[in-house]
């Protein structure tokens, strides 16, 4: 194997100095064409056999994928298929959501009882170290609300902390004459409404707006025009707010289900439409595979 030493010195360096790199003054010797052919023949043939097998493996993968596409396409054309089943399920769920929506849209009358116009007096708002304290008196009961103290330690925050009741009992302003079955819902409303009123006082003070005057307990529990229940000082009804939120949730759920159903229908059509093309691709791939297999067999034969 003399030629290897001559033409491939990097494989078997003749001396240490050559191993460090061929000297620039020694250009590669021209190889006679007939020798070059013999030199290149074996490696090229081996390389092409490897390449052929690689291409074959790629094609076999493609064939598997295309066979799967065809199976899916045939499934999509069947009368009963997974897409139709999912669409039917989604339609059922949509009907349930629609029924829920209709039910929630119907406004159930909320309980109401007119509270007496007990005057609300002596409003005081103090801001110390940026921490608000709000007080007012309903009849004889003094109420004080304060922002939690950690607000002062986090003075850089933009949002204000929610006021907390630190003095006064909402039960104390609940009239004795309230029917027994309405005591609990009215107390829950007053508890919330007294807090809302304190928040209004604080915010108006911070915004340098005039404080409300002549307010009575009746202004903290006036009837909602929609459901007839109690509204707070700002005219917000908790029952109607809950209903609107539920309607919003149902609307979003409906949109999501409609989109999902449309996607299922779209996918079924796409997969079914692709079937003729996939069948054609499979024929092409199988043809290429048989041609390649023949080439691989030829190469193996000439190498052995």
Site for Zn ion, rule CB under 5 A: 224, 226-227, 229, 237, 239-240
At residue 165, the 3 state secondary structure works out as strand
Q: Which one, 107 or 265, has the nearer CB to Zn ion? A: 107
| Cβ 265 to Zn ion shortest distance, Å | 40
State the DSSP string of 37-102.
HHHHHHHHHHHHHHHHHHHHHHHHHHHHHHHHHHHHHHHHHSSS-HHHHHHHHHHHHHHHHHHHHH
CB 271 within 8 A of CB 263: no
| Cβ 236 to Zn ion shortest distance, Å | 9
Q: Which one, 151 or 230, has the nearer CB to Zn ion? A: 230
| Cβ 226 to Zn ion shortest distance, Å | 4
| Cβ 115 to Zn ion shortest distance, Å | 16
- Which DSSP helix (H) or strand (E) runs through 123? strand 120-128
Q: Which one, 45 or 244, has the nearer CB to Zn ion? A: 244
| Cβ 179 to Zn ion shortest distance, Å | 20
CA 23, distance to chain mean position in Å, is 64
What whole-number distance in Å separates Cα of residue 186 and Cα of residue 153? 37
| Cβ 113 to Zn ion shortest distance, Å | 15
**Beta bridge pairs of residue 137:** 121, 142
The owner of tokens 């940026």 is: 130
Q: Which one, 203 or 226, has the nearer CB to Zn ion? A: 226
What whole-number distance in Å separates Cα of residue 195 and Cα of residue 234? 12
Q: Which one, 240 or 296, has the nearer CB to Zn ion? A: 240
Q: Which one, 138 or 224, has the nearer CB to Zn ion? A: 224
């Amino acid at each position: 194997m003399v030629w290897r030493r001559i033409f491939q010195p990097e494989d078997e360096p003749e001396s240490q100095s050559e191993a460090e790199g061929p000297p620039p003054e020694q250009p590669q010797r021209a190889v006679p064409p007939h020798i070059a052919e013999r030199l290149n023949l074996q490696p090229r043939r081996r390389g092409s056999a490897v390449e052929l097998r690689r291409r074959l493996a790629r094609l076999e993968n493609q064939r598997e994928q295309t066979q799967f596409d065809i199976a899916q396409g045939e499934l999509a054309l069947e009368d009963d298929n997974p897409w139709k089943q999912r669409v039917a399920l989604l339609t059922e769920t949509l009907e349930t959501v629609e029924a829920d929506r209709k039910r929630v849209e119907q406004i159930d009358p909320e309980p109401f009882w007119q509270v007496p116009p007990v005057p609300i007096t002596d409003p005081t708002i103090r801001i110390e170290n940026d921490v608000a304290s709000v007080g007012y008196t309903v009849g004889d009961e003094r109420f004080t609300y304060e922002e939690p103290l950690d607000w002062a330690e986090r003075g850089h925050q933009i949002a204000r902390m929610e006021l907390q009741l630190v003095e006064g009992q909402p039960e104390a302003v609940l009239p004795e004459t309230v029917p027994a079955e309405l005591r609990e819902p009215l107390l829950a409303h007053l508890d919330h409404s007294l807090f809302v009123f304190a928040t209004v006082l604080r915010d108006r003070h911070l915004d340098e707006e005039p404080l409300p005057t002549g307010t009575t307990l009746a202004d903290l529990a006036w009837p909602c025009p929609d459901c007839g229940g109690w509204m707070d000082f700002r005219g917000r009804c908790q029952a109607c707010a809950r209903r609107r939120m539920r309607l919003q949730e149902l609307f979003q759920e409906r949109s999501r289900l409609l989109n999902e159903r449309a996607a299922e229908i779209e996918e079924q059509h796409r997969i079914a439409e692709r079937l003729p093309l996939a069948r054609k691709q499979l024929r092409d791939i199988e043809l290429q595979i048989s041609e390649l297999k023949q080439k691989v067999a030829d190469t193996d034969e000439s190498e052995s």
